[in-house]
């Protein structure tokens, strides 16, 4: 029995692979090149439980067929994490929307073709971006939960990169639920989606913590490096630690109560001031080096729309890592990695 992890070299996926191997699962990871596969296997000391298959572009037609042709009946669990998460494009459809949506449809079509009766559980990494209505973000008394959908339209998803990313997560996740509805009599698998908020926490491998990091870790990385002249007052968001996100993916396929659910994985809220206080209190060497967070107006500290994830918390049954620990562990790993360069 194997677990297929798509996008296995990603920030979240590396933690997933680590946790799965620790629980003695056989893992098949998709990677974009042979070199990335070799590097991944080396990171896990060539653990014989880990194999890789190259899927260069999830947007390609039948992108995952080869994975199933090679491993067919072995694959019982699919964790689909691969999807572009960056804002470095102006071709929103090609670089964000299409790969997210095609990638999701493509893995489900391959399951239908090769694993309709063998794949038991599918977990798709969606996002709070598919849930949250950003237009209501500033409403302190607005509460939404795992049933909500971000109202962005296709047209609205093609005007800037953040909205394109929000659209990519919404339309990809919807495509998964629609697929299941249309193929309920054909496929055996149960679906769960995981909707994390902005993810902090250490990289799975300390050596990867220097230089440019994945989009969410860059929030802390750039805060550490912006310098005292910069003003980063306006930051505010919901967050969760990557170690909890990985745990949630495992519970998503191991627990019966997670079947058919959207799991909102969220630890709490933060703003620039919180980051500044936590970093200056825990890392005396950063005194006088952190960006300004004092700009009145932009640096509103009052609460904003709340993601009520009480249903998910009951299913997951563990306490989330808090902001201070998550930020400190992230920052310490970055600072240590830089010291050792
Ligand atoms: P990463 O960028 O670290 O990982 C993304 C993975 O997907 C990488 O392995 C990447 O490969 C792969 N990938 C992206 N585009 C393609 C493509 N066209 N073809 C093949 N592979 C592709 O991001 P995260 O780990 O942060 O994100 C993983 C998932 O979690 C995404 O679905 C993201 O939307 C979701 N998510 C992330 C959050 C966060 O704050 N980090 C919050 C909520 C959801 P390569 O690196 O080789 O390009």
Where do the structural domains in the chain lie, given as residue ranges? 2-132+144-199+240-266+306-320
For residue 216 and ligand 1, the question of a CB distance below 6 A is answered with yes
Name the residue with the closest Cα to ligand 1, atom 44. Answer: 127
203 CA → ligand 1 middle, Å = 14
CB atoms within 10 A of CB 341: 6
8 CA → ligand 1 middle, Å = 9
For residue 82 and ligand 1, the question of a CB distance below 6 A is answered with yes
Residues 39, 9: Cα–Cα separation, whole Å: 9
Q: What CATH number does the domain located at 2-132+144-199+240-266+306-320 have?
A: 3.40.50.720
Angle (deg, nearest 10), helices 215-225 and 323-339: 70
Residues 1, 17: Cα–Cα separation, whole Å: 15
Do the beta carbons of residue 139 and residue 304 sit within 8 Å? yes
Name the residue with the closest Cα to ligand 1, atom 39. Answer: 199
Name the residue with the closest Cα to ligand 1, atom 26. Answer: 11
Distances (CA, A) of 223 to 106, 216, 321: 37, 12, 20
For residue 11 and ligand 1, the question of a CB distance below 6 A is answered with yes
Name the residue with the closest Cα to ligand 1, atom 43. Answer: 127
For residue 7 and ligand 1, the question of a CB distance below 6 A is answered with yes
CB atoms within 10 A of CB 326: 26
The length of the chain, given as a count of residues = 341
**Edge-to-edge, what's the strand order for the sheet holding 198-200?**
198-200, 236-241, 268-271
CB atoms within 10 A of CB 255: 15
pLDDT at 86: 95
10 CA → ligand 1 middle, Å = 5
pLDDT at 302: 62
For residue 12 and ligand 1, the question of a CB distance below 6 A is answered with yes
pLDDT at 140: 86
Residues 113, 150: Cα–Cα separation, whole Å: 31
Question: Could you state, in chain order, the average pLDDT of each consecutive group of 10 residues for the chain (341 residues)?
Answer: 97 98 98 98 98 97 96 94 96 97 98 97 98 90 96 96 98 98 97 98 96 97 94 91 98 98 97 93 94 64 84 98 98 94 70
DSSP string for residues in 79-105:
EE---------S-HIIIIIHHHHHHHH
Asked whether the CA dihedral 293, 296, 302, 307 is positive or negative, the reply is negative
215 CA → ligand 1 middle, Å = 9
């Amino acid at each position: 029995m194997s677990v297929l992890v798509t996008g296995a070299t990603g920030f979240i996926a590396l933690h997933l692979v680590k946790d799965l191997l620790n629980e003695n699962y056989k893992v098949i990871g998709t990677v974009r090149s042979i070199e990335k596969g070799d590097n991944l296997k080396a990171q896990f000391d060539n653990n014989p439980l880990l194999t890789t298959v190259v899927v260069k572009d999830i947007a390609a037609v039948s992108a995952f067929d080869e994975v199933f042709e090679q491993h067919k009946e072995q694959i019982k669990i699919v964790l689909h994490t691969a999807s572009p998460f960056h804002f470095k494009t102006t071709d929103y459809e090609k670089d964000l929307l299409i790969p997210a949506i095609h990638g999701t449809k493509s893995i489900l079509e391959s399951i239908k073709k090769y694993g309709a009766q063998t794949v038991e559980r599918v977990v798709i990494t969606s996002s709070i971006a598919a849930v949250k209505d950003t237009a209501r973000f500033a409403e302190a008394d607005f509460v939404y939960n795992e049933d909500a959908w971000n109202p962005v339209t296709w047209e609205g998803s093609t005007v800037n990169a953040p909205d394109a990313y929000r659209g990519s997560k919404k339309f990809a996740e919807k495509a998964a639920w629609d697929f299941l509805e249309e193929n309920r009599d054909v496929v055996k698998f149960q679906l769960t989606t995981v909707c994390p908020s902005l993810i902090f926490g250490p990289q799975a491998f300390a050596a990867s913590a220097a230089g440019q990091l994945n989009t969410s870790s860059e929030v802390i990385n750039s805060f550490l490096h912006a310098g005292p002249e910069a003003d980063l007052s306006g930051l505010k968001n919901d967050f969760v630690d990557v170690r909890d996100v990985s745990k949630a993916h495992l519970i998503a396929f191991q627990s019966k109560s997670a079947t058919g659910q959207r799991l909102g994985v969220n630890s709490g809220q933060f703003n620039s001031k919180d980051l500044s206080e936590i970093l200056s209190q825990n890392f005396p060497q950063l005194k006088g080096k952190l960006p300004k967070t004092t700009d009145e107006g932009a640096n509103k500290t009052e609460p904003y729309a709340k993601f009520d994830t009480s249903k998910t918390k009951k299913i997951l049954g563990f306490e989330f890592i808090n902001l201070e620990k998550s930020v400190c562990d992230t920052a310490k790993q970055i600072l240590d990695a830089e010291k050792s360069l």
